[in-house]
């Protein structure tokens, strides 16, 4: 009688088990293992979690059990087990692989689940896999624990496997930038700061690691999130926020509009451009109308009186553009007058 026995899934044991499947699965596993060692463990940015399995030679379908090797990224390395810990994907003894991002939306990150709770990140994640022939749209790995849908021998060439790795490199970049921006946002003076003190526009580029440079797509998205959160915090709570130009108060329709446009980030720096005082709560329509000021002025804000002005008559503003407010003076916390002056002066040059 052959008894069951527990087996730790070391690299060697994993290879021995996969050898019962096919040579391709072994080859791919070795590449995955090497990627995990070089990208995570050797850089002190994570580990390969080597689980256990129970060998049961009598079983026809599961003689090698259900064990996996999981690749885990840690923002803070190995020293803090729960802080910035992100599961990437797992490989099973039956030669399948599955993303493990479900765990990141559950309870394994102290950074507000970012970026896993971001809808645009999720969409791009699914699209990137779809582009390499893996359809996770229906199984949704963000909401389901195990999606062992594809086998290791799916990757027929080294290039295909490298494309798989490139997705996880992108995920790690998203994680790192989201945490960096969360930490930066928490460290800046403007966080939850509600006063009407004037910004010093001469203090440019005071964010050392983000100053005076162009930002990639990932960074820009997180800057946008930081700015929106700050503007909403400054101008009210969820049940009180409304558009500065009209009565719309549905939070889903409210956007954070820059006064000094975001394109000036390389000039003024993160601290100024994404300071909530350089923002207004505007509905989507009035945000677009306000931004026309740079090309075809429709409406603007007088920096001295805070009145909403236009070359159009009041009836046209109200009936056609639905601008029902005449001034920002009633706001408890006002946008920075220096920012308003800068924009007003730029508009007058047109």
pLDDT tens per residue across span 80-92: 545 678 899 999 9
In a domain, 197, yes or no: no
Between CA 68 and CA 90 the distance in angstroms is 6
Instruction: Name the residue with higher pLDDT: 19 or 347.
Output: 19
pLDDT at residue 109, rounded to an integer: 57
Residue 189 pLDDT exceeds 90: no
In a domain, 194, yes or no: no
Least confident stretch, 202-216, 225-239, 250-264:
202-216
pLDDT at residue 210, rounded to an integer: 44
Are 14 and 158 found together in one domain?
Answer: yes
In a domain, 103, yes or no: yes
Least confident stretch, 76-85, 179-188, 280-289:
76-85
In a domain, 64, yes or no: yes
Query: Which tokens go with 107?
Result: 């309870």
In a domain, 20, yes or no: yes
Please check whether residue 74 is in contact with residue 85, taking contact to mean a CB–CB distance below 8 angstroms: yes
Between CA 278 and CA 262 the distance in angstroms is 10
Which pLDDT band holds residue 286 (cuts at 50, 70, 90)? Answer: very high
Least confident stretch, 145-149, 209-213, 284-288:
209-213
Mean pLDDT in residue range 176-198 = 75
Instruction: Name the residue with higher pLDDT: 244 or 237.
Output: 244
Are 30 and 178 found together in one domain?
Answer: yes
Please check whether residue 153 is in contact with residue 95, taking contact to mean a CB–CB distance below 8 angstroms: yes
Mean pLDDT in residue range 131-141 = 95
Mean pLDDT in residue range 100-111 = 73
User: Residue for token digits 């002066």?
Assistant: 345
Helix (H), strand (E) counts: the chain? 11, 11
Give the H or E element holding residue 160. Answer: helix 158-187
pLDDT at residue 221, rounded to an integer: 72
pLDDT at residue 211, rounded to an integer: 45
Are 254 and 343 found together in one domain?
Answer: yes
Query: Which tokens go with 283?
Result: 């509905």
Mean pLDDT in residue range 187-215 = 63
Nearest to 90 by CA among 101, 79, 104: 101
Instruction: Name the residue with higher pLDDT: 218 or 248.
Output: 248
Which pLDDT band holds residue 145 (cuts at 50, 70, 90)? Answer: confident
Residue 350 pLDDT exceeds 80: no
Which pLDDT band holds residue 165 (cuts at 50, 70, 90)? Answer: very high
In a domain, 235, yes or no: yes
Domain boundary among 184, 217, 243: 184
pLDDT at residue 208, rounded to an integer: 46
Burial of 193 per CB tally in 10 Å (0-12, 13-18, 19+): middle
Least confident stretch, 196-210, 253-267, 285-299:
196-210
Are 23 and 141 found together in one domain?
Answer: yes
Least confident stretch, 41-50, 235-244, 330-339:
235-244
Least confident stretch, 4-8, 17-21, 340-344:
4-8
Are 22 and 103 found together in one domain?
Answer: yes
Residue 74 CB partners (closer than 8 Å, separation 6+): 45, 46, 47, 80, 81, 83, 84, 85, 86
Are 24 and 122 found together in one domain?
Answer: yes
Q: Is 157 helix (H, G, I), strand (E, B) or coil?
A: coil
Mean pLDDT in residue range 305-330 = 91
Which pLDDT band holds residue 294 (cuts at 50, 70, 90)? Answer: low
Domain boundary among 154, 184, 214: 184
CA angle at 155 for the pair 154 and 158, rounded to the nearest 5°: 170
Burial of 43 per CB tally in 10 Å (0-12, 13-18, 19+): exposed
How many domains are there within the chain? 2
Instruction: Name the residue with higher pLDDT: 250 or 164.
Output: 164
Are 244 and 98 found together in one domain?
Answer: no
**E strand map for 135-196:** 150-151
Between CA 47 and CA 38 the distance in angstroms is 10
Residue 15 pLDDT exceeds 90: yes
Find residue 69's DSSP bridge partners. 50, 91
In a domain, 206, yes or no: yes
Please check whether residue 327 is in contact with residue 307, taking contact to mean a CB–CB distance below 8 angstroms: yes
Query: Which tokens go with 330?
Result: 């009633």
Are 156 and 121 found together in one domain?
Answer: yes
Are 174 and 91 found together in one domain?
Answer: yes
Are 243 and 166 found together in one domain?
Answer: no
Question: Where in the sequence is the domain holding 317, given as residue range(s)?
Answer: 202-348
Are 46 and 159 found together in one domain?
Answer: yes
pLDDT at residue 112, rounded to an integer: 61
Are 209 and 174 found together in one domain?
Answer: no
Domain boundary among 158, 184, 210: 184
Residue 205 pLDDT exceeds 80: no
**E strand map for 77-174:** 85-92, 96-99, 150-151
In a domain, 189, yes or no: no
Q: Mean pLDDT in the chain?
A: 84
């Amino acid at each position: 009688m052959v008894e069951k026995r527990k087996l730790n899934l070391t690299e060697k044991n994993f290879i021995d088990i996969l050898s019962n499947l096919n040579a391709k699965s072994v080859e791919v596993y070795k590449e995955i293992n090497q990627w995990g060692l070089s990208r995570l463990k050797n850089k002190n940015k994570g580990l390969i979690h080597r689980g256990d399995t129970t060998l049961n030679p009598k079983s026809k379908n599961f003689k090698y059990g259900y064990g996996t090797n999981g690749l885990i990224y840690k923002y803070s390395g190995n020293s803090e087990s729960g802080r910035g810990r992100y599961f990437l994907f797992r490989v099973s003894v039956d030669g399948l692989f599955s993303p493990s991002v479900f765990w990141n939306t559950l309870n394994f990150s102290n950074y507000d689940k970012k970026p896993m709770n971001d809808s645009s990140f999720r969409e791009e994640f699914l699209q990137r896999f779809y582009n390499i022939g893996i359809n996770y749209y229906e199984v949704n790995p963000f909401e389901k624990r195990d999606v062992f849908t594809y086998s290791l021998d799916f990757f027929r060439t080294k290039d295909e496997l490298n494309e798989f790795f490139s997705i996880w490199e992108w995920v790690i970049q998203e994680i790192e930038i989201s945490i960096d921006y969360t930490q930066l946002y928490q460290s800046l003076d403007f966080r939850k700061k509600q006063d009407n003190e004037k910004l010093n526009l001469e203090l440019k580029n005071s964010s050392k690691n983000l100053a005076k440079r162009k930002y990639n797509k990932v960074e820009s998205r997180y800057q946008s999130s930081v700015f929106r959160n700050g503007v909403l915090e400054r101008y009210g709570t969820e049940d009180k926020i409304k558009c500065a130009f009209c009565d719309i108060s549905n939070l889903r329709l409210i956007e954070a509009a820059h006064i000094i446009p975001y394109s000036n980030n390389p000039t003024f720096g993160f601290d100024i451009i994404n300071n909530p005082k350089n923002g207004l709560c505007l509905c989507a329509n009035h945000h677009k109308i306000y931004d026309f000021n740079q090309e075809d002025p429709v409406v603007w804000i007088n920096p001295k009186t805070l009145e909403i002005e236009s070359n159009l008559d009041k009836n046209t503003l109200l009936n056609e553009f639905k601008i029902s407010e005449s001034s920002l003076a009633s706001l408890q916390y006002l946008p920075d007058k220096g920012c308003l002056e800068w924009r007003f002066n730029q508009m007058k040059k047109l």
